[in-house]
Amino acid sequence: MSILNPVWVKPASIAKKTLDPLGLDRVSDRLIGDLLTGITALTNRTRYYSFYTWAVKNVNEVENITGFDEFENAFFDRDRAYTLACIAHEQSSPEGDHSNIQGLQEGKKKWQVSKTAVTLKGFRHLQNSMGGYGYYYQASIRKLGLTKQEQTRDSLTILGEGLAKAFEKTVSGTDYYKKWIGKEVIKKSVLAEYGSHCCLCILHRKNAPEREILRKIILGMNQEALGDTYHENRQKSLAFVLCAIHNFGQKSENLGSQAFLDLAYFKQFLSEDLIMSFDPPLEIADIIEKWKTFRSHDYFAFACESLFQAFLKTLDIHRTTGLSFSDFISQIDETESVNELKALLVVRREDKISKRIRLNEILKLIVASATGHQCVDFDAEASRKFDLSCNLGSKINENVLAAKLSDHFETEDFSLSRSTILALLLSLFVYVRLYWRSKTKDKPFTWLASRSEASDLSPSNFIFKLEHKLVNANPTMFDFLSWIYKDFVFTQATNVYNQKVGSSVYSLPISWFHPDGEVYRIDRLYDARFRNSRFHSCLSILTDLGLCKSVKDHQELTKDGRDLLQKLGVSVK
């Protein structure tokens, strides 16, 4: 496997909050929420924004609503009809993009068993009382300024009213709109006609009445978004995605989430195994720095969760006897750890590395390994030079360490010592890269710190705590690994679990290990993961809006996409 082609990154899965054992989602959710307000990993089809806005309008106009239960029931009825309409359109136009239809599985079953008409009484395409709106889109649509919550219903803002009317124009001529809304039995031909006018897959057509309105709303170009930081961040983030698509499209290469984050973190990308520099447009340079900050937390989170994974795997190996915390630390072999450190870092013959090596010396070795120059003292300037020099072409970087960690956990030859050193180095690389930013208090780091509470695991808190230790104690490597396991893994996992127990009303959260007298025993294993960057949702939304398109095995900007970047003042070569 080439370390310059990190296929090791699996598509990020959407984990339940109970499956976030160290609480690392707290910071990443705040960061990504700032960058992409109104877009989540599950709001990945643009036309749902306009359909759900219209559904709110239609329910409020047609139904005599006196309570929220009535609003939910009426809304659910329109949601399941729309699901069936999109499924009907998929049958007649399979070439369209019908991915991510809400309630697709149950909807297809219902469609297949129905003959000429579909009986909706008792049919539930989704379990949420308001279907996909309640599950995925309600909060996002509200954050875009399209709806507001009242006591007995959701209602539309002026902006939402305009979008809803545009969608209504799409469907007003259909039989479903004229006389079948709310009916318990609907002809399949009626649903098919309805789908042919408003299916998810045809929003990109120029004759879709709400497309231009959606472009302005999603890209933060409407009057209501002016001066709002969240809408500005989303606009610049989506402009960054479009710029990235342009760069990759020129080389006929596919842009994925990993490559997108590489552009932000290293200002580089891979093209046919060659490392290419990315010169970001000045207009979006600030948002790219924020994406780099998000990625730094992503790497740090993966390092912490890898330590947690190694801790649980070791408990699993000693399932019959259990382990005390001190017994667990004693399982980390000194010789193997030192050899692993030597293999990963550039070490001169005269450098003596042992169990007692001071952490300051390791930081200097990290700088030397990345820059090729010996570091007399580790300070803010050394950190800044490292940040400029450590990139995709370096012998060792965060990508390489994360790839090695992932590969190691997938082998049957698990080593606590090797996984520990890899994870510790990954956390230290993040420390070295961000240290100068913490000292200069630059805007991206200040933003990160503002989104990190005192109890959170985050790079900013890690830097503050570790710097304090270095100044006051200058710990050894084994002092450091004992500290990070105790405070950043063991104690944090215990605190997060206790918080969830305290806030749980109906059921206990998932436990990963538990005390048994003087030892700890495993309850279940855990796999470290990367946080979802919502890149795939952005790509899908921009495609739906007709701003980019798939060409063979990659994406390219459409003329509208290039024109929009120009309108935003973002220049691309």
Total domains in the fold of the chain: 2
d(CA 394, CA 269) in angstroms, rounded, equals: 13
In a domain, 381, yes or no: yes
pLDDT digits (tens, 9 = 90+) for 155-176: 999 999 999 999 999 999 999 9
Range of the domain at 103: 47-202
State the pLDDT at residue 136. Answer: 95
Residue-wise pLDDT for 386-435, tens only, equals 999 999 989 899 999 999 999 999 988 999 999 999 999 999 999 999 99
Chain centre distance of CA 124: 29
DSSP code of residue 358? B
Residue 531 lies in a domain: no
Judged on CB neighbours under 10 Å (0-12, 13-18, 19+), 511 is middle
Q: Is the pLDDT of residue 327 over 60?
A: yes
Q: Are residues 331 and 468 in the same domain?
A: yes
The answer, yes or no, to whether residue 480 has pLDDT greater than 90, is yes
Q: Is the pLDDT of residue 211 over 80?
A: yes
Q: Enter the DSSP assignment of 474.
A: -
Q: Say if residues 125 and 83 touch (Cβ distance below 8 Å).
A: yes
Task: Assess whether 182 and 306 both reside in one domain.
Answer: no
Residue 2 clears pLDDT 50, i.e. is over it: no
Among the candidates 202, 226, 261, a domain finishes at 202
What value does the mean pLDDT take over residues 112-136?
95
Same domain, 179 and 307: no
| pLDDT per residue as tens digits for the range 520-554 | 999 999 999 999 999 999 999 999 999 999 998 89
Whether residue 548 is contained in a domain is answered as no
At 347, is the pLDDT very low, low, confident or very high (cuts 50, 70, 90)? low
pLDDT for the residue numbered 8: 35
The answer to whether residue 229 sits within a structural domain is no
| Cα 501 → chain centroid | 26
Residues 191 and 327 in one domain: no
Query: In this structure, is residue 449 part of a structural domain?
Result: yes
pLDDT band at 272 (very low <50, low <70, confident <90, very high): confident
Whether residue 228 is contained in a domain is answered as no
Token digits for 318?
A: 């000693």
- Determine the residue type at 26: R
Indicate the pLDDT class of residue 13, thresholds 50, 70 and 90.
very low
Name the H helices within 251-358. 257-266, 285-317, 325-330, 334-344
pLDDT value, residue 89:
97
The pLDDT-based confidence of 465 (bands split at 50, 70, 90) is: very high
Q: Are residues 400 and 518 in the same domain?
A: yes
pLDDT at 7: 35
Query: Residue 18 has what pLDDT?
Result: 60
CA distance 300 to 293: 11
Domain end, chosen from 151, 171, 202, is at: 202
* CB-based burial, 15-41: b 16+ in 10 Å, e otherwise: eeeeebbbbbbbbbbbbbbbbbbbbbb
Per-residue pLDDT, 9:
37
% of the chain exceeding 70 in pLDDT: 95
Q: Of 202, 235, 269, at which residue does a domain stop?
A: 202
Give a yes or no: residue 476 inside a domain. Answer: yes
| Res. 273: pLDDT tops 80 | no
Q: How far apart are CA 549 and CA 292, in angstroms?
A: 26
Does residue 234 belong to any structural domain of this protein? Answer: no
Q: Find the mean pLDDT for residues 328-357.
A: 82
User: Cα–Cα distance between 76 and 124 in angstroms, integer?
Assistant: 9
Helix (H) or strand (E) holding 179: none
Helix (H) or strand (E) holding 482: helix 477-485
Among 265-279, 348-362, 541-555, which is the least confidently predicted range?
348-362
Same domain, 353 and 496: yes
When the pLDDT of each residue in the chain is averaged and rounded to a whole number, the result is 91
On whether both 197 and 304 belong to a single domain, the answer is: no
Angle at Cα 440 formed by Cα 24 and Cα 289, nearest 5°?
55
* pLDDT at residue 553, as a whole number: 86
Let me know whether 323 and 469 are in one domain. yes
pLDDT of residue 277: 87
